[in-house]
Homo-oligomer: A and B are copies of this chain.
Amino acid sequence: MAKTIGILTGGGDCPGLNAVIRGVVKGALLHRNWQVIGIEDGFDGLLDETKIRPLGLDDVRGILPRGGTILGTTNKGTPFSRVIEKDGKKEIVDVSDEVVRTVRKKGIDAIVVVGGEGSLAIALQLMQKGIPVVGVPKTIDNDLMETDVTFGYNTALETATDALDKLHSTAESHHRVMVMEVMGRYAGWIALESGISGGADVILILEIPFTIVKICQAIDQRRRRGSRFSILVAAEGAFPSGGDRVVKSGASAGQPVERLGGIGDYVAARIATCLDMDTRVTVLGHLQRGGSPSTFDRCLGSRFGIKALELIEAEAYGQMACLRGTKIRSVPIEQAIRELKLVNPHGEMVRAAEELGIMVGR
């Protein structure tokens, strides 16, 4: 039966989103004779009809190698409440009926929600309002349960590892400590895996608190053994044992200017003081979200897009596409968002890192 399906991308952007969109559009139009409707700027689009438009083959031409998402995205969260100014006061209004009306009006039979934990939770709320939904997992941080991995993470790793390679070549020529700050506020996967692949000496992640003294000891030991340099990778979310979290790089609207610099600057400054060595900081920031998606992410995103169509075909609403080994499978969204997938401080990856001579926090 011919269907009209909507698609939206939510949360932080991620290389591979365009591969999913393209997969959904091609699979729907070329093989199923379905219509696809693009909803712009995440769930925001559901509240603004000007952000809802049909997607054709021309719209997805040439987007496979492009980062970002042609649909735009936001981090604003639920579309069911809206802030309204009334008599000079701000009021939160429930607009969920309006959302449902818009979806019905546009003739949308089901929505493909491409997003992380937050967006998938909202997808379930849409389900509860009677809007059929299927999920496609997206997280650059690799912190989503129930899928081996998702697209975006591999591209972010490539960017971080490439940066470590570059720091190596310059670090070797001087006597210095190089600190690289990578994404990972809630999970340390990027720091851990890029640290292993980029030959870091120290990896700092939030799952394993660190102490500056021990880091300095490790660097000092390397120095005595003749190593002219040390390289640290620090996830944004890393923090000292018993210490406060350090605020992130960049500034959010409204944040006071008083405190600049993130965990990278913090660690670099401490080490410089403690060891009397020069330190240099690199903050990758949004570089990690950018760039052309890697092969892995393009292929996985494309396969997830096709899987989303198959889930709709089977009316397996509330399910999310996932990767298990080499297979594309599905799981209930509910199950996938129960908790974040953190690095196991005593798992195989951390042990492997330690056997390779890397200090991982502690």
- Which residues of A are interface residues toward B (Cβ below 8 A)? 12-13, 15, 17, 22-23, 26-27, 30-31, 62, 64-69, 72-75, 148-149, 154, 157-163, 165-174, 178-179, 193-194, 196-199, 228, 249-255, 257, 260-261, 265-266, 268-270, 272-273, 275-287, 289-292, 294-296, 298-299, 302-303, 306, 309, 324-328, 348-349, 351-352, 354-357
Query: Would you mind naming 6 contact pairs between A and B with Cβ atoms under 8 Å apart?
Result: A197-B302, A250-B280, A257-B273, A261-B265, A283-B283, A283-B285
Q: Is the CB of B260 within 8 A of A196?
A: no
What's the Cα separation between A286 and B292 when bound, in Å? 20
Q: Is the CB of B170 within 8 A of A290?
A: yes
* Chain B residues, Cβ within 8 Å of A196: 298-299, 302-303
What's the Cα separation between A180 and B54 when bound, in Å? 34
Query: Smallest distance from the beta carbon of A304 to chain B beta carbons, Å?
Result: 10
Query: Smallest distance from the beta carbon of A362 to chain B beta carbons, Å?
Result: 16
Known: A303-B348, A303-B352. 16 other contacts (CB 8 A): A13-B174, A15-B169, A22-B356, A27-B356, A30-B357, A31-B355, A72-B172, A157-B296, A166-B289, A166-B291, A170-B289, A251-B272, A251-B273, A254-B272, A254-B276, A306-B351
Q: Is the CB of A154 within 8 A of B296?
A: yes
Q: Is the CB of B194 within 8 A of A295?
A: yes
Copies in the complex: 4
What's the Cα separation between A325 and B266 when bound, in Å? 36
What's the Cα separation between A228 and B31 when bound, in Å? 23
Name the residue of chain B whose CB is nearest to the CB of A298: B197
Q: Is the CB of B250 within 8 A of A268?
A: yes
Q: Is the CB of B326 within 8 A of A149?
A: yes
Which of A162, A268, A309 is most buried by chain B, counting CB atoms within 10 A of its CB?
A162
Q: Is the CB of B169 within 8 A of A281?
A: no
Q: Is the CB of B272 within 8 A of A72?
A: no
Name the residue of chain B whose CB is nearest to the CB of A18: B169
Q: Is the CB of A285 within 8 A of B280?
A: yes
Q: Is the CB of B170 within 8 A of A13?
A: yes
Contact partner of A169 among B162, B166, B291, B309, CB < 8 A?
B291
* Chain B residues, Cβ within 8 Å of A198: 64, 295
